[in-house]
Amino acid sequence: MKILIVEDDDNIRLGLAEALSREGYELILSGNGKEALLKYAQEKPDFIILDIMMPELDGYSVCREIRKSDEQIPIVFLSAKDEEIDRVVGLELGADDYISKPFGMHEVRARIKTIARRCLRNKTAEADAAFAFGDLTVYSNELYALRGSARLEFSLREVKILECLYRHKNKVVTRDMLFDAAWGYEHMPNSRTLDQHISKLRKTIERDPNNPVLIRTVHGMGYRYHTDEREKA
């Protein structure tokens, strides 16, 4: 999923990019309004984080231009302006949300995750949008799973890892395969990063994370999603 971040402050723009990249989003960065419109047309992002006060073209103008051709793409305004009238103007232009500076990254991640769910839900659902993973039902388009009545939340990257393991159930999934599925060919994290994600997933989905039965380690190769299908055959 692509997020276009439009922010003229380098520190804020790069900070947002770093935080959201960890969640598995593909990011497009822009430092001014005119460039943002070009990147929007070229890259076709899924939603936009848009600063208001910027050089070249302000955020209100960028939003207005985008809404002429696309009424559906979610737009979140990001601004130090916190007057009620500014919020009203932004929402009337078609913004979906408004985050005031200074902000916490946890707040931004939570709001983006909510928007991501809606984006995925509004897209045409694929046949495997929901799949069984052990005793879980994983709803990949909404980034969560159910175990009975218990709801388990995932990041986009965690869902990508689960999907990859599911597609190759009972087979070894190499570390490279997981890197490609969850991070993409252009970005190769170190092995420790993958191990940390697997560890976090196990803490979420395994009955006993210290003795995992769903995501098993295949030493020297990668991981395997284990089912009982072979045992029943």
Number of H helices, E strands in the chain: 9, 12
CB 153 within 8 A of CB 203: no
Given a cut of 60, whether residue 29 has pLDDT beyond it is yes
Whole-prediction pTM: 0.61
Determine the pLDDT at residue 205.
95
Confidence band, pLDDT 50/70/90 cuts, at residue 233: very low
Please state, in angstroms and rounded to a whole number, the distance separating the CA atoms of residues 42 and 89: 27
Domain ranges for the chain, please list them. 2-122, 130-232
Given a cut of 80, whether residue 96 has pLDDT beyond it is no
Q: How does DSSP classify residue 216? A: E
Please state, in angstroms and rounded to a whole number, the distance separating the CA atoms of residues 90 and 52: 9
Among 16-20, 23-27, 150-154, 197-201, which is the least confidently predicted range? 23-27
Given a cut of 90, whether residue 6 has pLDDT beyond it is yes
Given a cut of 80, whether residue 93 has pLDDT beyond it is no
DSSP, residue by residue, 38-107: HHHHHH--SEEEEESS-SSS-HHHHHHHHHHH-SSS-EEEEES---HHHHHHHHHTT-SEEEESS--HHH
Given a cut of 90, whether residue 33 has pLDDT beyond it is yes
Specify the fold of 2-122. Rossmann fold (3.40.50)
CA distances from 117 to 141, 155, 193, 215 (A): 6, 10, 24, 25
Determine the pLDDT at residue 232.
37
Residues in the chain: 233
* Helix H or strand E segment including 173: strand 173-174
Residues 44-69 have pLDDT tens digits of 998 899 998 888 899 989 998 998 88
3-class DSSP state of 5: strand
Determine the pLDDT at residue 218.
94
Q: Which residue has the tokens 């995992």?
A: 212
Percentage of residues of the chain with pLDDT beyond 90: 43
Q: What is the mean pLDDT of the chain?
A: 83
Where does 130-232 sit in CATH, by number? 1.10.10.10
The whole-angstrom distance between residue 158's C-alpha and the CA centroid of its chain comes to 9
> Strand pairing partners for 47?
3
Among 16-25, 69-78, 177-186, which is the least confidently predicted range? 177-186
Please state, in angstroms and rounded to a whole number, the distance separating the CA atoms of residues 30 and 144: 31
Residues 118-146 have pLDDT tens digits of 666 555 444 447 899 999 999 987 889 99
